[in-house]
Amino acid sequence: MGFLSRWAVLNPKKAIGIWLLLMVIVFGLSAQLKAGFNDSFSLPNTPSTKAQEILAKDFPSQADTNTSSATIVFGVKEGSIASKANVAKINAVLAKVRKNKSIISATSPFEAPAGQAGAPQSRQAGSTGPTRAASGGAPTGFNPAGTAGAFLSPVSKDGTVAKAAVVIKTDDGKANKEDLKSIFATITKANTATFEVGASGRVFDFVQGDPPKSEGIGIVVALVIMALMFGAVVAAGLPIITAVFGLSTGLAAVTMFTGFADIPTFAPTLASLIGLGVGIDYSLFVINRFKVAIDSGREPRAAAIESVNTSGRAVLFAGTTVIVALAGLFVLGIGFVNGLAIASMLTVLFVMLSALWLLPALISQFGRKTFALKLPWARTVKVHPKGTLFARYGQWIQGRSILLVVGSLVAMVVIAIPTLSLQQGFADAGGKKPGTPSRIGYDLLARGFGSGIGSPYIVVATLPKAGDLASAAKLATALQKADDVAGATNAVPNNVKNPKKATSVIYTVFPNSSPQSEETAKLLDTLREDVIPPVEQKTGIKAYVGGAKATVTDFGSVLSDALPLFLVIVIGLGIVALGILFRSILVPVIGALASLLSFGAALGVSVAIFQWGWFKDAFAIEATGPIAPFVPVFLFAILFGLSMDYQVFLVSRMQEEWAHSKDHARSIRRGMAGSGRVVAAAAAIMASVFFGFILGDDATIKLFGLSLGVAVLLDAFVVRLILVPSLMSLIGQSVWWLPAWLDRIIPHLVIETEEEFEAESALIEDVPGLIDTPVGDPLEPEGSEPFSKS
């Protein structure tokens, strides 16, 4: 990669041209190879997966990927939904919906064919239409409703809510998004002060999931920070330009890869969140080093070469660390998570390439004009006779090492305490923005039919012998009598026309509680551990609990089981890589383990806000609930990579100073003076980009934006700029210890040549009187005894 960067500096016009050609190729391949995003996922060897496999085999209509069931919900606040005027309104809405080319059928709640009204719904959680296995051809007197009749009825008991079953055309499980938006527009327009219309069904989940248009907030903040740093309009804009070029190319590559892997719908938004932040940061580091080289007297092209040889190498290491951390997610073996990892890895790869290829070419081409259009505060050279702010800060922390280590550790642990109350689960429509069709539909269904209608468990059972419906009936009775079950259907056989040939059955079990409640989660354990096993032992029937809620629970279990291996791989590789770079044992261990503090604190803030509801109004969070199961592990993968970035950029300067002076106190202080400012600026920029995504409507993206923003700020300003240098100061020069045998084995990586080091070192405005002597207590008068570490 260093060769590519140097070639770009020496051949800027060719490099820029080839980059643009690369973009054309990637965009062209994206248009040809894209296959659409896919939100489905499968879990290895779980009860919910087994249930889904039986459904696909014995109830093929339930696994049909060419159609999807959904519900349109109608409600009135006063009077009866069945009044003549309201029925006319319902029929008018459904007539318009039927004109949509993606609609196969839309059945009025007052015109449901006999034989369908009491059928359980098992095909999709959130869908309240009839089960196809029980529709049509059922024998006379067949009643699958069991004790769930109130849930399955098209009209609520109080007569204020009704639901219409809708079947929507899909292609491999994916519906036409524009057609869904048209349906939503029809539903929204039908709402009045006294007549409400909403929608329910997984097919609608991402209709309102457009990416937030808030990236501009982070870009504006980035411009302001870089304008303050570089004091020039061109230099402030170049990192953003290169990051945007890299991000757009990366997102095109993500779209292209949908033809080869299942990538979730919201993956591009998450990839944008990550890519824009790291892209601007990487370019910032390169331009900052370019400016340092220019200020030290280098000619522009030589300065660009120096920049890519030093900061460029650090960017390559940092970007590779992020990609490797994301690649660690593959050990989880979950396709859904793999898709998110692929999207994020591709985006990070291309923004890293833009910083190491496109940006070097641009600064080489512009030369000194990179710092053209100087801003007022940069037109005069400022001298700091008492040392720069970060030089003085580095001196200050060395006199208070114990206090700062203890204080920062306590603060991070306290912030992380809510993590102990972490509950995992997917957000339901109750977290949608009020007034949207999905939220209206959720509220109406819960009001009319009970909160459990949104989280049914689907029990799938194989019979001990064909036609053994007596055994199936015993399981139905057990399910219907279970505690915390509001209602459960009777067994629906896979051969309704000839039940004697049935080999499997399905049941729908409705909890008493809402989808996100702890009681609903406990009910799953009750069904699997207490209710089903005794019936299995007595009858020989074999049953599995599935459904959306069960899948989420199994998802969390799979992640928990794979988490130790994931952490060992990611943290282990991080320690090895940092050990080679810094030639130390303790420095990489401190850096890697400190990332766990940042992770815990970020997760603690997420739990406090998104689960407990603290300050939720300030972040426009509509409803609280559990944290999505994949968020913690994905958050750690991203955060570990980003935190290693700051560790590299900050400690590499300290390591260079130590290698040249063998003065530990001096290396810490001058490392802070040389890199502290740019690390603080980079963290502020990245956090502002992440926080910008909080303004979107998607609850998962809000969660990622807040979690990563908080994580970056805490990691940079508490862990990297307080805890790490304080702890290194406290430990002393032993922190750089490396066994002689290991020193001979590991490769020697040189970030700077001697000439480059001397040139940059000369520009560091250190604290007077301490430049060439070990630092003592900065608060002691001159001539006193040196400050003791203890």
How far is it, in rounded angstroms, from Cα 754 to Cα 502?
A: 81
Which residues, including other chains, have CB under 8 Å from residue 498's CB and lie 6 or more apart?
none
Please give the backbone phi and psi of residue 103, each rounded to the nearest 5 degrees, phi first.
-85, 125
Do residues 395 and 767 touch, judged by C-beta distance below 8 A? Answer: yes
Angle (CA) 132-135-141 rounded to 5° is 140
Per residue in 325-357, pLDDT tens?
899 888 888 888 899 999 999 999 999 999 999
Question: What is the model's pLDDT at position 523?
Answer: 95
Question: What is the model's pLDDT at position 62?
Answer: 67
Residue 786: is its pLDDT beyond 80?
Answer: no
Give the CA count within 13 Å in the CB-facing half-sphere of 117.
15
Q: What is the DSSP string of 732-776?
A: -GGGG---HHHHHHS----SS-HHHHHHHHHH--PPTT-SSS---
Report the pLDDT averaged over residues 471-498.
Answer: 93
Per residue in 139-148, pLDDT tens?
444 578 899 9
Question: What is the model's pLDDT at position 17?
Answer: 96
Residue 561: is its pLDDT beyond 50?
Answer: yes
Report the pLDDT averaged over residues 671-682.
Answer: 88
Which residues, including other chains, have CB under 8 Å from residue 715's CB and lie 6 or more apart?
594, 595, 598, 639, 642, 643, 646, 683
Helix axes 754-763, 664-692, angle to 10 degrees: 80
Q: Residue 297 is which amino acid?
A: G
How far is residue 120 from each of residues 74, 148, 338, 509, 535, measured CA to CA in Å? 20, 8, 34, 9, 22
Report the pLDDT averaged over residues 192-219.
Answer: 75
The greatest distance separating any two alpha carbons of the chain, rounded to the nearest whole angstrom, comes to 103
Question: How many other CB atoms are found less than 10 A from the CB of residue 51?
Answer: 25
Average pLDDT, the chain: 84
How far is it, in rounded angstroms, from Cα 204 to Cα 97?
A: 14
Give the residue among 361, 181, 374, 389 at the shortest CA–CA distance from 287: 361
Give the residue among 293, 286, 254 at the shortest CA–CA distance from 362: 286
Report the pLDDT averaged over residues 731-753.
Answer: 82
Question: What is the model's pLDDT at position 405?
Answer: 95
Residue 777: is its pLDDT beyond 50?
Answer: no
Tokens of 83: 């009044």
Which has more confidence, 509 or 122?
509
Residue 757: is its pLDDT beyond 70?
Answer: no
How far is it, in rounded angstroms, from Cα 19 to Cα 359?
A: 11
Q: Point out the least confidently predicted range of 256-270, 650-664, 760-774.
A: 760-774
Which residue has tokens 């968020």?
A: 631
Residue 583: is its pLDDT beyond 50?
Answer: yes
Question: What is the model's pLDDT at position 137?
Answer: 41
Do residues 562 and 333 touch, judged by C-beta distance below 8 A? Answer: yes
Question: What is the model's pLDDT at position 121?
Answer: 40
Report the pLDDT averaged over residues 554-559.
Answer: 85
**Strand order from edge to edge, sheet including 103-107:** 103-107, 161-169, 67-76, 195-200
The rounded percent of the chain whose pLDDT value lies above 90 is 43
Which residues, including other chains, have CB under 8 Å from residue 654's CB and lie 6 or more apart?
667, 668, 670, 671, 672, 725, 728
Report the pLDDT averaged over residues 757-765.
Answer: 64
Question: What is the model's pLDDT at position 65?
Answer: 61
Instruction: Please report which confidence band the pLDDT of residue 45 belongs to, taking 50, 70 and 90 as the band edges.
Output: confident
Please give the backbone phi and psi of residue 72, each rounded to the nearest 5 degrees, phi first.
-105, 125
198, β-bridge pairs? 73
Please give the backbone phi and psi of residue 146, each rounded to the nearest 5 degrees, phi first.
60, -130
Instruction: Please report which confidence band the pLDDT of residue 769 belongs to, taking 50, 70 and 90 as the band edges.
Output: low
How far is it, in rounded angstroms, from Cα 329 to Cα 334?
A: 9
Q: Point out the least confidently predicted range of 426-435, 442-451, 452-461, 570-579.
A: 426-435
Instruction: Please report which confidence band the pLDDT of residue 231 belongs to, taking 50, 70 and 90 as the band edges.
Output: confident
Question: What is the model's pLDDT at position 136?
Answer: 39
Q: b/e map of 326-340 (b: 16 or more CB within 10 Å)?
A: bbbbebbebbbbbbb
Report the pLDDT averaged over residues 55-60.
Answer: 87
- pTM for the model: 0.80
Q: Point out the least confidently predicted range of 56-65, 114-123, 722-731.
A: 114-123
Report the pLDDT averaged over residues 706-711.
Answer: 91
Please give the backbone phi and psi of residue 594, each rounded to the nearest 5 degrees, phi first.
-65, -25
Question: How many other CB atoms are found less than 10 A from the CB of residue 191?
Answer: 16
How far is residue 779 from each of residues 445, 675, 768, measured CA to CA in Å? 68, 24, 14
Do residues 127 and 69 touch, judged by C-beta distance below 8 A? Answer: yes
Per residue in 375-402, pLDDT tens?
876 666 565 666 678 888 888 898 899 9
Do residues 386 and 768 touch, judged by C-beta distance below 8 A? Answer: yes
